[in-house]
Amino acid sequence: MNRTFYSSLIMDLSRAGRRGYALDDHGFENDNSIPGHLLRDSAPILPQVDEPTLVRHYTNLSTNNFGVDTGFYPLGSCTMKYNPKINEEIASDRRIAALHPCQPAETVQGALRAYDRLQHLLSEIGGMTRFTLNPYAGAHGELTGLMIIHAYHDDHGDLKRTRVIVPDSAHGTNPASAAVAGYSIVEVKSRHDGTIDPEDLKSKLDDTIAAVMMTNPNTVGMFEKNIPEIARMAHEAGALMYYDGANLNPMLGVARPGDMGFDVMHINLHKTFSTPHGGGGPGAGPVGVRAGLEKYLPCPRVDFNTVSGMYEVVTDDKNSMGHISSWLGNYTVELKALAYILSLGGQGLAQAGPLAILNANYIKDSLSDLYLLPIEGRCKHEFVFDGLKDKSTGVTTLHVAKRLLDHGFHAPTIYFPLLFHESLMIEPTETESPETLDRFIAVMREIALEAANDPDKVKDAPLYTPVRHPDDTEAAVNPRLNYRSL
């Protein structure tokens, strides 16, 4: 990261007459057949820059950014693990770049085989029967999964199931996805240890419940050990069990959602399977189902025809829940995840979960004397502190998070889950070395000490980042959302 702030926008660098492209004019006759009233009244105002200026601009911009390659990114629930470089090389193969999604199946067998291979590998890891790779993101996967559940109940003529049970600790996308899928939400409360109370759940289960959505380990990093009982109760009531795969990483090599009684799940390839987050996307949220639900998966679908020995793309199927994407999802993201799984192999995958769990517990047990641990016991991939133990200093979770930036760390997830006032959620992942964790622990201890001795300094953090205390209120009250508004 730069200590100086590069603040130019590409528009600031524009000069009339500059250009950054060259196109071949193939000499086709100029055609003026489009009636004038169908054309723009005036040309758009876009920057005019040459290629070197553009490259330097974005290179400088990138130095204002912090990524996993820059430093430790203990952002809870986001699984910010190392993104292997070989995966980028493979996914940028020119042969894939040039592949049009409407190319007939017989000409893209290798590409379809890759899709099917990943589908099978995810099924093995999730304990499911079949996956679709089409959903574009975790939330999109949730929506797809709930639509599959909707299609299942519709198919069984079970039309009164209009509600979905979501724990109060769930990711915000769970209730939002359920709402978009046409469901109303029934919330179940967490117990003091962050897990679901099976009795409370039981009282809310009836024949209007379509699904129970759960995250396991949950958002406080605890494993829901009552899950077999919960699944049994849900199934007896005719509901399906949905697994939010945002927290799948610690289950690698440890347990499978399918074996826990889940019927439908999504996986965030950009979390568990190391595809880069790209500052927000593109991600991928494949959805898996247990046996009996395959027919409801979305189209297009990649089927293997055992007679012809060829892969086929099925674009229409009356049982399918419908279409959720234009084509087969974020295909190059899928290739990166496939490369990652094949790189690790069965054994490497089985190391990932345990080491992620080890790293999380190591940090937790090294800091719980200074930070308030609301839930005791072994965590899985992540855990939550309820701020500093010593509340007398007025130093909040936000201050601690901002002070971490001064020390070259990304902040943990803050103020989520909503169960605690000062949630500080830490997820180290398995790709961080013990030395990095030790440095982080030392800094967290230093901040706790500083909070006691010089609280105002912590409250003023970050002190050393090139940008300090952006005014969120100004941004919201007087929205300036494009260059013209500046």
- According to CB under 8 A, which residues from 239 to 298 bind other proteins? 253-256, 259-260, 276-283, 298
By CB under 8 A, is residue 421 in contact with other proteins? no
Residue list 438-457, contact with other proteins (CB under 8 A): none
236 CA to centre of own chain = 32
By CB under 8 A, is residue 427 in contact with other proteins? no
By CB under 8 A, is residue 189 in contact with other proteins? no
Looking at residue 29, its amino acid is E
Residue list 46-65, contact with other proteins (CB under 8 A): 46-49, 51, 54-55, 58-59, 61-65
| Of residues 117 and 452, the one with the C-beta less far from other proteins | 117
Q: How far is the CB of 238 from other proteins (least distance, A)?
A: 19
CA dist 41 to 16, 32, 83, 178, 313, Å? 20, 16, 46, 43, 42
Instruction: Determine if the peptide bond prior to 282 is cis (ω within 30°).
Output: yes
Number of residues that bind other proteins (CB under 8 A): 196
285, with CB counted inside 10 A (0-12, 13-18, 19+), is buried
Sign of the C-alpha dihedral, residues 244, 250, 252, 255? negative
| Of residues 10 and 452, the one with the C-beta less far from other proteins | 10
Q: How far is the CB of 416 from other proteins (least distance, A)?
A: 8
By CB under 8 A, is residue 116 in contact with other proteins? no
Q: What is the DSSP letter of 477?
A: H
Task: Write the binding mask 15 to 34 for other proteins: x where contact by CB under 8 A, - elsewhere.
Answer: ---xxxx-xxxxxxxxx-xx
By CB under 8 A, is residue 352 in contact with other proteins? yes
| Residue of 95, 157, 192, 307 that binds other proteins (CB under 8 A) | 95
**Residue 222 is encoded by which pair of tokens?**
């605890």
Cα Rg for the chain, rounded, in angstroms? 25
Stretch that binds other proteins, among 286-294, 382-390, 448-456, 472-480 (CB under 8 A): 472-480
Which residues pair with residue 213 across a beta bridge? Answer: 242
Residue list 381-420, contact with other proteins (CB under 8 A): 401-402, 405, 410-411
| Residue of 128, 137, 165, 395 that binds other proteins (CB under 8 A) | 137
Residue whose pair of structure tokens reads 């099978």 in the numeric block: 120
Q: Is 63 left (phi over 0), alpha (psi -120 to 50) or beta?
A: alpha
Half-sphere CA count of 293, side-chain side, radius 13 A: 31
Q: How far is the CB of 466 from other proteins (least distance, A)?
A: 8
